[in-house]
Structure 1
Amino acid sequence: MAERQISGSVKQDSLSDAEAPKLSDIFDRGWKIFDELDNTNDPLASNSVQVKVRRAISMLEDTSRMAAQLNLFSRNEELEEIATADLKYMLSPALLGALTLKITGREKRLENVQTARAYFMDFLKRCKDYNVSQFTLPESVNESTLARQSPDDPSPTSMTPMPTTSDLVAMAAQRQAKIELYNQKKELEARLDVLRSVESRRADDETSRDFYLLNVRKWVILCLDEVQSIDQEMEILKNMDQLQLGATQAARPSRPPIKPFILTKDALQAQVFGSGYPSLPTMTVNEWYDEHKKNGVLPDQGVPRRVAVEEDTDAQEREEETEKWSEHDDEEALMKAREWDDWKDDHRRGYGNRQNMG
């Protein structure tokens, strides 16, 4: 079959048909980068790895768009009707899902796993339409959520009931199915190792077809396992978001909202702003000070009150001393008491005390 090639008007108007990138070349480069990432020992969060992840995603997205424009796949045809050269493009959504899971960044993790699940489900539905292999299509996100909720308590955070006998049987069957899928995966990988070397040497059409079909069937098993893991992770991520939201709301003190206003220097400026911004009240600096002073929230409020208390105490002591000396009719002592009172009026308490240097 002739090599498929995207038109210049699809990718870039300035490109001629001879210069336009070929669908096969773009897909092969994206697939090769994925294999390199899947076998690398570099940290997943490293910049070099993340750059390759983004590059491979971009290439495979282009592949998916081009395949859709060329109508390579249809629900009305059988698997045997797909050309051998086009079989590998069925892997595009599966590879995109696996690459999306490699994107790091906790703040968008939930969004990434949801996107990856959509890619995996798209791949599995297409394989189901073409009857690539026998498997049960996973439930959608909404269906799986409703299945875990009881009719009486629709809350997803309700306590999980004790498993019944039928539940235990279903769990045992699920475990057995996973074991069978694992064995099938190992068998497919062994056969792929044999065909990989043959296909790399420009094998015939039959060998190439077996090679691509084995890859598609292997990815069916991988996607089924990934979807199950994603569903579990999504539950954890959603519960974490709810816990963090609850903790944030509990830590934030409840206070009445502050109404916005314009602070002006004087009444004249308040009139100017008031006419220009009628929806916002205005307040001069003096009005703002008087309002805060009335509510007792100024930074220096409270200090004068303590001073006033001390002054009242001193006045009371002076009055008592004066009365005491007046009762004894001692004019000299009375004069000394008055001089002492005058001296205290002109000198603050502690004046002259240099021992406590502060």
Structure 2
Amino acid sequence: MSGNDESLAQVFQKAEILFLDIQKSTLASNSDEYQSKVNQSIRGFELSSRMVRQLSLFSDNEFMEDISTKDLRILLTEYYLGELFLKRVTPDRLADLNSGKEHLDHFLLQCETHDILTPSDKKYLEQLTTNTPKDAATRRGEKIARFKREKEMRNQIEEFHKILGTTNSGYEGELSSELEDQYRDFVLLHLQYAIFQTMEQLVGIQQEIPMLQQMAERKAAEGSNDSRASNRTAHDARDGKVDSSTIWNATGPLMDPQGRPLRPFMITNKRAEMMKGVFRPGHSLPTMSIEEYLDQEMERGNFLSGGTEEPKKKEADDNDEEAINAETIKARNWDDFKDDNPKGWGNKGGRIG
């Protein structure tokens, strides 16, 4: 799409027709053909944007009423570029999102400068920038209202297409005064629809960019860890050693081509192990005998030795008069105690039987 012999209006219209074709396309968004159209349309609108700056087409002190209808539609350039960058499928999604956001922000700034934003658009934009908290019912009501507005604008655009006999925002040929007014309303409606879509896209971008940034940070951290691990593995390989963490975490082959173990394994007689599993009883077998258990408990001090026999009563020596007298006195005292305390005394107040 060369701009050497084409006017700004022609360059813009070719890129716009291609953009509208992409919007209606049934191709997969990651297919080569689809992405080729996206990039081609981007190049067309980027050329259109450069031509706008070279021609100084818009002035900051111009309002919407001061801009001609055919120039007014060129304001859609930045909107189309923002949409197209969001449709790109490249390894650097974050860069595409930032580019798309930059173009969409520029488009809104142009619309605000030229007094195209409606009061409701300004209020909604202020809510987006301040991130005003809302309850679920309010958010649901606003979402329903904006959905209805979007549907209404699409229907109006289709009606204008039928009236004007055009498939894009441009109109070639002579226009009567009546069609001129309708065409201007048609272009303004296109701008209003673009403003609406821009705000919706910015909401999605604000949610996606932080997630991509977190993913990039996590990937960078994992890459740093992988780099340290690979350096350590390479160092161990030079020293003829194998990293223990690699051995215990590996699930691949047992050995590397050099014969070094990659994970732990045990050499066993597989047939013998299988036989043990088949012929073993259903209950758990003891691992030691009762005698071994008692010996083990004895060593731990869990059994007391002795104390199972009654001590033998020490008999007094017949030649030991003091011992004999002590035994006699003890027996007399016991007899006196039994006389003073008959059997059952004290039970139920002395009542026996």
**TM-score using structure 2 length:** 0.57
AA aligned opposite 1:100: F
**TM-score using structure 1 length:** 0.56
In structure 1, the partner of 2:42 is 57
AA aligned opposite 1:120: L
In structure 2, the partner of 1:109 is 93
Report the secondary structure of 2:95's partner residue: helix
**Per-residue deviation, 1:208:** 1.2
Aligned-residue sequence identity (percent) comes to: 24
Closer, same or farther: CA 66–248 of 1 in aligned 2, 3 Å: same
| Structure 1: distance between partners of 2:230 and 2:182 | 73
In structure 1, the partner of 2:340 is none
Q: Structure 2: 5+ residue runs without aligned partners? A: 167-172, 242-353
In structure 1, the partner of 2:149 is 184
AA aligned opposite 1:65: R
The within-5 A match list for 1:34-183 is 34-105=19-90, 107-132=91-116, 133-134=118-119, 135-136=121-122, 138=125, 167-169=133-135, 172-183=137-148
The within-5 A match list for 1:1-358 is 20-105=5-90, 107-132=91-116, 133-134=118-119, 135-136=121-122, 138=125, 167-169=133-135, 172-200=137-165, 203=175, 204-253=179-228, 297=239
| Structure 1: distance between partners of 2:231 and 2:14 | 59
Q: Residues 214-263 of structure 1, C-alpha deviation per residue, up to 9 Å, x if partnerless? A: 00000100000001101111011011111112222233336999xxxxxx
Contact 1:199 1:211 in 2 (8 A): no
How many positions carry a matched residue from both structures?
Answer: 223
Closer, same or farther: CA 177–73 of 1 in aligned 2, 3 Å: farther
**Per-residue deviation, 1:86:** 0.7
| Structure 2: distance between partners of 1:256 and 1:62 | 48
Q: Note the aligned Cα RMSD (angstroms).
A: 3.0
Q: Residues 38-91 of structure 1, C-alpha deviation per residue, up to 9 Å, x if partnerless? A: 111111111111111111111111111112222222221111111011111010
| Structure 2: distance between partners of 1:297 and 1:68 | 64
In structure 2, the partner of 1:278 is none
| Structure 1: distance between partners of 2:34 and 2:240 | 56
Closer, same or farther: CA 23–254 of 1 in aligned 2, 3 Å: same
Closer, same or farther: CA 168–98 of 1 in aligned 2, 3 Å: closer
Contact 2:61 2:114 in 1 (8 A): no
Closer, same or farther: CA 54–254 of 1 in aligned 2, 3 Å: closer
| Structure 2: distance between partners of 1:223 and 1:246 | 34
Q: Compare CA radii of gyration and give the structure with the larger one.
A: 2
**Per-residue deviation, 1:298:** 7.1
Closer, same or farther: CA 255–222 of 1 in aligned 2, 3 Å: closer
Closer, same or farther: CA 183–253 of 1 in aligned 2, 3 Å: same
Closer, same or farther: CA 131–179 of 1 in aligned 2, 3 Å: farther
Closer, same or farther: CA 30–48 of 1 in aligned 2, 3 Å: same
What stretches of structure 1 move > 4 A for 4+ residues in a row?
A: 171-175, 254-257
AA aligned opposite 1:121: D
180-189 or 78-87: which moved more? Answer: 180-189
In structure 2, the partner of 1:324 is none
Q: Structure 1: 5+ residue runs without aligned partners? A: 1-7, 13-19, 148-165, 258-291, 300-358
